[in-house]
Structure formats: structure tokens, C-alpha cells
Amino acid sequence: MVTGASQSRRFMRQCKYDVAATIDVAETGALHAHDCL
């Protein structure tokens, strides 16, 4: 599970997902983290 905006921001920076900024941080953090990993 991904918790905290800092972790979600980390994934956003790594994957460069602009959509993550628009969608909920918690949901996008988990989904995008799966895509990144």
C-alpha cells in the first residue's frame, strides 16, 4: 500500500504521470506504483 503524498509524488516524478496530480493521491499512488514496479 502507498501512504502519504510524498510517496505518491515520488512515483509521479519517476514515471512522470501528470494524471496522478489530477486523480486522488492515494488511488493513483497505488495504481501507478504498480505500473512503475
d(CA 29, CA 6): 10
| Number of compact structural domains in the chain | 1
What's the pLDDT at 4? 61
| Residue positions counted in the chain | 37
Q: Is the dihedral of CA 13, 15, 18, 21 positive or negative?
A: negative
d(CA 37, CA 22): 21
d(CA 29, CA 27): 5
- Share above pLDDT 70 across residues of the chain, in percent, rounded to a whole number: 0
Express each pLDDT in 7-19 by its tens digit.
Answer: 666 665 665 555 6
Q: Which domain holds residue 21?
A: 5-36
What's the pLDDT at 6? 64
